[in-house]
Amino acid sequence: MLLLATFSFMVALSMSEPVNFCREAKDCQTCASSYTHVLGFREHCRWCVESKLCVGPLSCPLGKPVVQRDSFRCPAKASVAKGKRYTDELGRSLYAFILSLRDENVTACLLNVRPDVSHIRTFTVECDTSGNTCSSMVAVSEEAKSIYLVFRDTASRQQLITEMVNGLGAQLGAWEKFEGDAGVVSYFHTAFYKTFVDSGMKDHALSLVKKYPGFRVWMTGYSLGGSLASMTAVYLAKKKLVDSDSLRLLTFGEPRTGNVAFAKEVEENVPFRYRVVKRNDFVTSIPRSVDPAASLITATAFERQPLFYRFLVHYNNSMKKGDKFK
């Protein structure tokens, strides 16, 4: 194991480029893959995200976002093209599906705000060993040419505590293997297979994909549901069950679902993706990264850290109707 970690670290170093001074790098991608020598020791350059400067060790303001070693963590801008950008109207339209899953009469609740939906089927299963449940929905709008795969949020405090306990293991690098090289929190792994695969939801969704060729396939969810939605998107893409260009991922209050490899799988396989976060949402901060700046750990250890995929939509408010986002 030690030999493997050392080898991985050396590979990461070999992909870096030497510079005389870190300030020579003018963008995040170049800076993150550059290094200089200090007193004979190799030191990675750091990109200070807020000041947009490439500097040496201990030069970025303490507590501010820093990128080093891996350009994947560099800020990236989402498309602003019509049909590819996030809008408040789009977010609220999808959130209506999530809210309806909490109602006793899902169909009546949803049709009250989305009368264009012509097909609704719900699924509720026990998704852990403690008897907690997960609920989901498959819906179709022929008018919008869309199929919707929707996942409910955490149902109880007990369920949230169980998720958090599993998240602690992830913080220390204990991940359940998912698609490709991706690792996810063990609770989400179990909940995904019980909710999406074993419940019959996957088969029903794919029958609709076959029935409505060319329709977009939307995946959305809140909190726990956001994690299940992002896993569903990766699963469908990696299994080649749905073309990546047809996938649309938009989550609300999603925690850090997986490790660095999972975040990369999302970005490589789901071009249209947004994480919507509102102010003071605790769930979106867990599980925490041990060393988010990757300043003290090896490249291999960094890959085991929890990490979000890009793109973030941030409401620095309560996300009431008319509130602004960026």
**Rounded CA gap, 217 and 233, in Å?**
9
The least confident of 39-43, 225-229, 289-293 is 289-293
Q: Examine the pLDDT at 31 and tell me if it is beyond 90.
A: yes
Q: In the predicted model, what is the mean pLDDT of residues 226-242?
A: 99
pLDDT band at 293 (very low <50, low <70, confident <90, very high): low
Q: Is the dihedral of CA 127, 268, 221, 325 positive or negative?
A: positive
Q: Examine the pLDDT at 234 and tell me if it is beyond 80.
A: yes
Domain ranges of the chain: 2-73, 88-315
∠ CA 41-44-48, rounded to 5°: 140
**Rounded CA gap, 318 and 326, in Å?**
14
Among all chains, which residue has been given the structure tokens 């350009």?
71
pLDDT digits (tens, 9 = 90+) for 64-102: 889 988 888 898 889 899 999 999 999 999 999 999 999
- Could you please state the CATH topology (level 3) that the domain comprising 88-315 is classified under: Rossmann fold (3.40.50)
The least confident of 68-72, 117-121, 315-319 is 68-72
Residues comprising the chain, all counted: 326
Among all chains, which residue has been given the structure tokens 């008319």?
322
Phi, psi values for residue 20, rounded to 5°: -70, -45
Full DSSP string of 189-241: HHHHIIIIITTSHHHHHHHHHHHSTT-EEEEEEETHHHHHHHHHHHHHHHTTS
pLDDT band at 7 (very low <50, low <70, confident <90, very high): very low
Q: In the predicted model, what is the mean pLDDT of residues 199-223?
A: 98
How far is residue 147 from each of residues 94, 197, 310, measured CA to CA in Å? 12, 17, 23
What is the model's pLDDT at position 275? 98
What is the model's pLDDT at position 296? 63
**Structure tokens of 247?**
């996938």
**56 membership: H or E segment, kind and range:** none
Q: Examine the pLDDT at 12 and tell me if it is beyond 60.
A: no
**Rounded CA gap, 100 and 112, in Å?**
10
What is the model's pLDDT at position 44? 86
Q: In the predicted model, what is the mean pLDDT of residues 145-158?
A: 96
Q: Examine the pLDDT at 2 and tell me if it is beyond 60.
A: no
What is the model's pLDDT at position 43? 86
Q: Examine the pLDDT at 9 and tell me if it is beyond 60.
A: no
What is the model's pLDDT at position 291? 64
pLDDT band at 19 (very low <50, low <70, confident <90, very high): confident
Q: Look over the chain and give the mean of its residue pLDDT values, rounded to a whole number.
A: 90
Per the confidence metrics, is the pTM higher than 0.85? yes
Q: Examine the pLDDT at 208 and tell me if it is beyond 80.
A: yes
pLDDT digits (tens, 9 = 90+) for 132-143: 999 999 999 999
What is the model's pLDDT at position 3? 37
What is the model's pLDDT at position 13? 39
| 106-112 long-range Cβ contacts below 8 angstroms, 24+ apart | 106/137, 110/139
